Structure 1
Amino acid sequence: MTEEGPAVLADGDTGTGGDDADDARPVQPVLAVVGRPNVGKSTLVNRILGRREAVVQDVSGVTRDRVAYDALWNGRRFTLLDTGGWEPDAKGMQAAIAAQAETAMRTADVILLVVDGQVGATAVDEAVARTLRRSDRPVILAATKIDDSRGEGEVASLWRLGLGEPHPVSGLHGRGSGDLLDIVLDAMPSSPRDDVDLEGGPRRVALVGKPNVGKSSLLNQLTGETRSVVDAVAGTTTDPVDSLVEIDGETWKIVDTAGLRRKVGQASGTEYYASLRTKAAIEAAEVTVLLLDASQPISEQDLRVASQVAEAGRALVLAMNKWDLVDSDRRHAMVRELERALVRFPWVERVNISARTGRAVQKLAPAMRTALENWDRRVPTGQLNQWLSEVVAATPPPVRGGKQPKILYATQAQNRPPTFVLFTSGFLEAGYRRFLERKLRETFPLIGTPVQINVRVREKGRRGGRGR
């Protein structure tokens, strides 16, 4: 709650007016970008998008999941699917990354194989090419890192991959990218295949929490497939991963995000850009599911994440994960921790789940629906002012500077989240504004959503001209 006028209320509002139009976009054909690790796929993706979306760093294996982006070229829209590096006979995490790339190939309308033009075709590239030659999808071959004409002579050797003409391109500088996109669009159907699941219109959910708390495991549990790479190593997810998931008969758009660091300034390289993507995912979401590890004490980092979600004005559900690992002593201790730690967030609904076993995961959808209903809620002005007069009559504002401020009236300026403006004759102490918020929540159903109460002090009259 801030001491601001109504002009501040528009700041950060992403929930009014344009949401429905944005979500109702048509289904689009899909271009999957595949190749072995560190050939420059994500750099080329950023070049195609015309903005820095995919996380890029000069080490292999930065992209680990398949990540979808909306792309536009020459008036045609399509979905660009960035994938992890494809390696045959991979083990462990690399095997999971390879499976993501293979899934992308099965669900795409056109496949773009990216090869390092400076290195030439490796044994891994040849193995990928053999797989792609058996595909019934159009396959286009791109030779990256060809920054000038001197490198084009080496590209001819890529004909031996049996995928047709290799197209030289520089993802870093953009050289040849326009010609490559023209070729992609020529091969792309006007509409996607029937089995591509890319609907529009679901409510948007962000999964957030510190690294290794179980976000990707929860997403995989909800989808019933290995949608996100899961590994015991913290920080496996670096890009936000979008999934359309049906829960309790309703489709939701869920984004699995990278674990948030304590401060963006402490992150570097991949983690820095991943933290920015996670922030953007929270701001683009309507409701956020914050996962906490129920088997571990609540950390300051967990509270920072909750504060970030609340400051972004998003609905919030708290999921206590790994409940199957919690004994009775830990449950008692956790209740006390929650009372102390979440004193700033008494309005958050909590659900105890196990992403590993699927325990109580079905309870998430009702909690998210409740949070969203209250996030969307509008309180009629008449009811609001009747409530306000009763509260003020019972507990007037404290005297300040020898004068007691009067609350003249209130109005709800917007929803998403519910934002109220109090017009007063003087300053209201922060403690009294918190008291009003608490009373407001007792009267109106506002579980699961932050509430903003802004105060506008009436200027003292200037009814006559000065000096009269």
Structure 2
Amino acid sequence: MTENFDGLAAEQAAGDGIWSEEAEFAGWEDGGFGDEMGGPVVPTPTLAIVGRPNVGKSTLVNRIIGRREAVVQDIPGVTRDRVSYDALWAGRKFTVVDTGGWEPDAQGLAGEVALQAERAMKTTDAVLVVVDASVGATHTDEAIAKVLRRSKVPVILVANKVDDERTLADAAALWNLGLGEPFPVSALHGRGSGDLLDAIMAAMPEAPSEFAANQGGPRRVALLGKPNVGKSSLLNRLSGESRSVVDSVAGTTVDPVDSLVELDGEVWRFVDTAGLRKRVHQAKGMEFYASLRTQSALESAEVAIVLIDSSEPLSEQDQRVITMVIESGRALVIAMNKADLVDGDRRTEIERELDRDLARVQWAEVINIAAKTGRGVHRLAPALRTALDSWDKRIPTGQLNSWLGTLIQGTPPPVRSGKQPKVLFATQAGNRPPTFVLFTTGFLEAGYRRFIERRLREDFGFKGSPVRVNVRVREKRGAKK
């Protein structure tokens, strides 16, 4: 093996093909891929969109942000939480908060939804009230107007479903709500949306009223798991407020829900996501779009907390969620929730299940928590930091090759087709997740690549992060390109 690595200088001088390839990857060590996720997050002003159920709030959100992200379906009550989206108009960035339908006298789950909408009114920089012009002002619309007339933030009244000139008179009738001039729009067709956006920009402050001091850009954490595993309860526990709607009915969360949470002296951006019941291609309607939003939330996150109900046996759904995180290349922490419901016998079963069913993610830290009582929740922040440190880690090329030379000298690659492949050079192609490329004279078996990955973890850490080991086989001299 020493001969392989000592021979690199001679091959470089001879202009062997490996060195042109090595040059091709040289930029990777210096972060040639760029950091697509690590830039600073600049606080932006926030616009809350409120109104009674099924007046077209989520359709209007999609029109304002210019893309189909908010879940829309022709039944009331699809949106249940406060959900944030980034928007841009006339060169200015702002955040749009979609809310569940507001009912002043709602009870149970509907009451929780109404509470979320009320909170959005109090914690944003401007409020946009949506009224169905084809129906006119209802008692609920008048109740919303009464609350907002006392509000200190700017209020914009939108008369939605004004699809043509004939319904303009219906929009004018909404002056009697006392919220100023109603803007007639058709969220479905886009009519009047440009004028509305100009009015929003005129009403919104240049700087946000909340979190303006948060300059560093909080690390992004996705909360994942099957339905009713306790994701929203955990988010509410961490944030210290009823941030997400929680109900014993599975599937309460439909959209990803963003929350800035201070945890262990650091601000994190947590995203509560819809529980995944089926594979995306098998889901239908609202569930299909919710699955896409969940996948999108994972892609925009840096680390995922996968919640598993420790009171039940590990399911295929749990395995599917973990697979999704591995394939996305995100850092991972596994939280075994509802630990307060586990007895001694079940604890023994859990240990067996983890050894059997989660052997492929032995590198992920497993934490026992109880979201409802707060037990063990304080251990999440250290686990998240460890996972993110591993996810960001780089090994200098010289140190990596010295380590690899010693490793392969002790355990050379298995012979393949009568020949033993040689490893000529190695480099860390990137981080987030750590990705290594081995330049070789022949293919390395999958088992040997797993051996290298295991030893990388033993000697360099990488707790909580996936590690990828790729092989680049050098072409033979004189081979045709």
Question: If the length of structure 2 is used for normalisation, what is the TM-score?
Answer: 0.91
Q: Distance in 2 between matches of 1:60 and 1:14?
A: 48
Return the offset for 1:180.
Answer: 1.1
**Mapped contact 1:262–1:304 kept (Cα < 8 A):** no
Q: AA paired with 2:35?
A: G
Q: Distance in 1 between matches of 2:125 and 2:459?
A: 53
Q: Distance in 2 between matches of 1:73 and 1:233?
A: 38
Q: AA paired with 1:264?
A: V
> Which residue of 1 is the match for residue 392 of structure 2?
376
> Which of residues 51, 54, 69 is equivalent to 1:38?
54
Return the offset for 1:390.
Answer: 2.2
> Which residue of 2 is the match for residue 102 of structure 1?
118
> Which residue of 2 is the match for residue 278 of structure 1?
294
Q: Distance in 2 between matches of 1:215 and 1:196?
A: 27
> Which residue of 1 is the match for residue 362 of structure 2?
346
SS at match of 1:71: strand
**Is the aligned partner of 1:24 residue 2:7?**
no
Q: Distance in 2 between matches of 1:404 and 1:194?
A: 62
Return the offset for 1:293.
Answer: 0.4
Q: Distance in 2 between matches of 1:347 and 1:31?
A: 41
> Which of residues 253, 257, 261 is equivalent to 2:277?
261
Q: Distance in 2 between matches of 1:194 and 1:258?
A: 26
Aligned positions of 1:194-209 closer than 5 A = 201-209=217-225
Aligned positions of 1:17-416 closer than 5 A = 17-21=35-39, 23-25=40-42, 27-193=43-209, 201-416=217-432
Q: Distance in 1 between matches of 2:430 and 2:301?
A: 18
Return the offset for 1:200.
Answer: 5.5
SS at match of 1:411: strand
SS at match of 1:436: helix
Q: Deviations over 1:12-58 (max 9, x none)?
A: x998434343x332x22221110001100000010000011111111
Cα distance 1:53–1:376, how it changes in 2: closer, same or farther (>3 A)? same
Return the offset for 1:436.
Answer: 1.4
**Mapped contact 2:71–2:255 kept (Cα < 8 A):** yes
Cα distance 1:445–1:336, how it changes in 2: closer, same or farther (>3 A)? same
Q: AA paired with 1:152?
A: L
**Mapped contact 1:28–1:77 kept (Cα < 8 A):** yes
Instruction: Give aligned pairs, total.
Output: 457
Q: Deviations over 1:151-173 (max 9, x none)?
A: 11222221221212211101111
Q: Distance in 2 between matches of 1:391 and 1:185?
A: 61
Q: Distance in 2 between matches of 1:433 and 1:110?
A: 55
SS at match of 1:238: coil
Q: AA paired with 2:425?
A: Y
Q: Distance in 1 between matches of 2:380 and 2:120?
A: 28
Q: Distance in 2 between matches of 1:414 and 1:102?
A: 45
Q: Distance in 2 between matches of 1:131 and 1:195?
A: 25
Identity of aligned residues (%): 65
RMSD: 2.1
SS at match of 1:68: strand
Structure 1 alignment gaps of length 5 or more: none
**Mapped contact 2:33–2:430 kept (Cα < 8 A):** no
Q: Distance in 2 between matches of 1:259 and 1:462?
A: 55
Structure 2 alignment gaps of length 5 or more: 1-20
Return the offset for 1:407.
Answer: 1.5
Q: Distance in 1 between matches of 2:452 and 2:297?
A: 31
Q: Distance in 1 between matches of 2:38 and 2:392?
A: 14
**Mapped contact 1:15–1:416 kept (Cα < 8 A):** no
Cα distance 1:420–1:20, how it changes in 2: closer, same or farther (>3 A)? closer
Which deviates more, 430-439 or 232-241? 430-439
Cα distance 1:162–1:200, how it changes in 2: closer, same or farther (>3 A)? farther
Q: Distance in 2 between matches of 1:197 and 1:171?
A: 34
